[in-house]
A = this chain, B = another copy of it.
Amino acid sequence: MQVVRKISELRLLRDKLDGRVGFVPTMGYLHEGHLALVKQARAENSAVIVSIYVNPAQFGPREDFAAYPRDLNRDLKLLRVAGVDIVFLPTDDAMYPTELSTWVVVEKVTGTLEGASRPGHFRGVATVVAKLFNIVRPSRAYFGQKDAQQVIVIKRMVADLDMRIEVVVVPTLRETDGLAMSSRNSYLNREERQAAAVLFKALTLARRLKREGVTDAEQIRRQMVSLIRKEPLAAIDYVSIAHVDTLQEMDRIEGPALASLAVRIGRTRLIDNTILE
């Protein structure tokens, strides 16, 4: 496994690769969810490149950029075991030189949910992913369904800018109580960790209601909200039943819908989602 920091070094190594290249962009502090992406990339491509980069442009000024968990040595061990060929660790100076003034902006699908709660977030995501795509030139790129809106934004960008990259979406991995795996779970103390299960409980409730024939989206949202409110450590940012493509809130559920939510558990903001079919 080769570990490179310079863009020029990555390009040299990339040029030597034949066949399909799978790419897994991450912010590090890897968990089983990331490793599921790597495993699938490993199975489907001749070579696998993983990037680890905590992208400052996708964090708001009051968000957790400085505190975001980092453990490079552990990450590299996990990636070596997973059979990764190249790990790319770009520096802030290389990714965001002071003169940088170009941004990739995805409109429409970024107006709601995470895009509404985190202004500028998806501009940062789209821009860094475009840059990484141009550097790595993957055949396929792997993203987790946990970040459902991010997946939609990246797919939109790839289609709109005619990037010839297949975006592969991998199901969310969960802890035994259903909590979606996330690097941010490490922020939770023991009480908060228990309380955090409420996100999955709310999604499970939504699935049950839909399965039982409820198509009134507001009724499902209300029941999710009242379930979450019973958890004293939880504070709702949003609870949404939205169209899977447009991410516009639905009145009546017709066809597949994205049930998603963002909830603060103590000071930690968690997100999760499920498709209501």
B residues in contact with A99, CB < 8 Å: 156, 159
How many angstroms between the C-alpha atoms of A108 and B130 in the bound complex?
20
How many angstroms between the C-alpha atoms of A163 and B7 in the bound complex?
11
A126 at the interface (CB under 8 A from B): yes
- Quick one: which of B11, B135, B156, B164 contacts A101, CB cutoff 8 A? B156
A161 at the interface (CB under 8 A from B): yes
Task: Check B106 against A104 for contact (C-beta < 8 Å).
Answer: no
Please, what's the 1-or-0 string for A23-39, where 1 marks a CB less than 8 Å from any CB in chain B? Answer: 00000000000000000
Q: How many residues of A contact B (CB 8 A)?
A: 27
Please, what's the 1-or-0 string for A86-112, where 1 marks a CB less than 8 Å from any CB in chain B? Answer: 000000000000011111111111000
A257 at the interface (CB under 8 A from B): no
- Quick one: which of B101, B160, B162 contacts A106, CB cutoff 8 A? B101
Interface residues of A in 143-182 (CB under 8 A from B): 156-157, 159-164
Known contacts A7-B162, A162-B7, A164-B11; is A102 also within 8 Å of B157 by CB? yes
Smallest CB-CB separation from A94: which chain B residue? B162
Smallest CB-CB separation from A135: which chain B residue? B162
A172 to nearest B CB, angstroms? 25
A229 at the interface (CB under 8 A from B): no
A2 at the interface (CB under 8 A from B): no
How many angstroms between the C-alpha atoms of A101 and B164 in the bound complex?
17
Task: Check B160 against A100 for contact (C-beta < 8 Å).
Answer: yes
How many angstroms between the C-alpha atoms of A163 and B159 in the bound complex?
17
A267 at the interface (CB under 8 A from B): no
Smallest CB-CB separation from A111: which chain B residue? B101
A90 to nearest B CB, angstroms? 10
A131 at the interface (CB under 8 A from B): yes
Smallest CB-CB separation from A106: which chain B residue? B102
Interface centre among A99, A101, A130, A134 (most CB of B within 10 A): A101
- Quick one: which of B134, B156, B159 contacts A161, CB cutoff 8 A? B134
B residues in contact with A164, CB < 8 Å: 11, 134
Task: Check A160 against B109 for contact (C-beta < 8 Å).
Answer: no
Please, what's the 1-or-0 string for A192-207, where 1 marks a CB less than 8 Å from any CB in chain B? Answer: 0000000000000000
- Extra contacts besides A102-B161, A103-B104 (20): CB < 8 Å: A11-B164, A99-B156, A99-B159, A101-B107, A101-B108, A101-B109, A101-B156, A102-B104, A102-B105, A102-B106, A102-B126, A102-B156, A102-B160, A104-B161, A105-B105, A130-B161, A131-B162, A134-B161, A134-B162, A134-B164
Report 15 cross-chain contacts, Cβ distance below 8 Å, ordered by A residue: A11-B164, A101-B107, A101-B109, A101-B156, A102-B106, A102-B107, A102-B126, A102-B157, A103-B107, A104-B105, A105-B105, A130-B161, A131-B160, A131-B161, A134-B163
